[in-house]
Amino acid sequence: MYSRTSLCAATLLFSLLAGCGQRTVSYSRDVNPILQDNCAVCHRPGAPGFGASGFSVATYADVMKGTKYGAVVTPGSSVGSTLVRLLRHQADKSINMPKNYTIDLTRHENIILPGVDARDLPARDVELISKWVDQGAKDN
């Protein structure tokens, strides 16, 4: 027979473990640094990705606004979010992200030249962004 105490302990341990898997992803702590490190070079006003698509990662509001055609984040659905599909390389080759690039050093300012193909973000980063979307894409 299990004692009431050991049952409680087992339940507590289980909820702690389950809780760890469901940890809340933070926009400011987890998601924003990934976007700044990997996307901002092209997706801010004046940069080529912003020029081509209208998508900026400068602020949370910009990310939620999406491209000139509309939102790329559907809160609660990573599967339905263009942002996540591009990072998982499930879209057309020409728009998978983040694009590779070279820098044209022959100009006075360094000009970013986006390539035709994309590189893979680390799987951990893609999972964080995907979880953040599934948890409601909050400004947290």
Which window, 2-10, 15-23, 24-32, 96-104, contacts ligand HEC (CB under 6 A)? 96-104
Among 3, 5, 94, 106, binds ligand HEC (CB under 6 A): 94
Residue 49 is a binding residue for ligand HEC (CB under 6 A): yes
Joined together, the tokens standing for residue 71 give 């939102």
27 burial class (0-12, 13-18, 19+ CB within 10 angstroms)?
A: middle
Rounded Cα–Cα distance for residues 37 and 57 (Å): 10
Number of Cβ within 10 Å of residue 139's Cβ equals 12
The nearest distance, CB 39 to ligand HEC, in angstroms, is 3
Which window, 6-14, 16-24, 25-33, 39-47, contacts ligand HEC (CB under 6 A)? 39-47
Residue 25 is a binding residue for ligand HEC (CB under 6 A): no
Rounded Cα–Cα distance for residues 32 and 57 (Å): 8
Among 25, 42, 133, 137, binds ligand HEC (CB under 6 A): 42
C-alpha separations of 137 from 25, 27, 59, 75, 134 in Å: 9, 8, 13, 5, 7
Residues that bind ligand HEC (CB under 6 A): 38-39, 41-43, 48-49, 52-53, 55, 67, 72, 82-83, 86, 94-95, 97-99, 101, 112, 114, 121
